[in-house]
A = this chain, B = another copy of it.
């Protein structure tokens, strides 16, 4: 599907009583020209904007992200600890899922119609109006493992979600765990 033009964005906004502002146009443009596979936090976006000479306040960045996620233009993702990430939503970008390293936050995208179908079916089955479905796989990337990241999980464990940030006292055995995401 074709990306939004100023006109189509304006129409979309006005239809709901919102207004087209230069700030919103600029922010959408950042996402539209962002290489596939990039995911921006509010702070990321704010940095990019000021690097481009735009002077859009952080408040407006947050407000615009919310607005566009609400309108379905952006998709909100929980990829890292502490802050959300955003990307263009389908159908402007193909719907996909994420595999993310809890150590270094490297993120790999992958598609799966099967998962999308399961998500759709499940929502239907419960009478829900589907908004989004995202399979997020958490793991440790090969590089992080080489870098000495070990996790001996209790025997029998099949799937266990990791956590950064334990107490300071963990420097010995799991030294890099204390690092911030």
Contacts and interface: CB of A to CB of B under 8 A. Distances in A.
Given A16-B173, A70-B166, A139 B160 contact: no
A137 B123 contact: yes
Interface residues of A, number: 69
A135 B97 CA distance: 9
Contacts of A153: 71-72
A167 B115 contact: no
A76 B141 CA distance: 19
B129 A160 contact: no
Given A16-B173, A112-B118, A132 B154 contact: no
Interface string A110-133: 101011101100110011111111
A129 B139 CA distance: 5
B118 A115 contact: yes
Interface stretch (A24-32, A34-42, A43-51, A88-96): A88-96
A140 interface: yes
Contacts of A159: 75, 89-90, 95, 116, 130-133
A158 B91 contact: yes
A175 interface: no
Interface in A130-157: 130-142, 145, 151, 153-154, 156-157
B161 A131 contact: yes
14 contacts: A17-B173, A70-B177, A72-B154, A78-B78, A89-B159, A90-B158, A91-B157, A102-B131, A119-B137, A128-B141, A130-B159, A131-B140, A132-B137, A132-B160
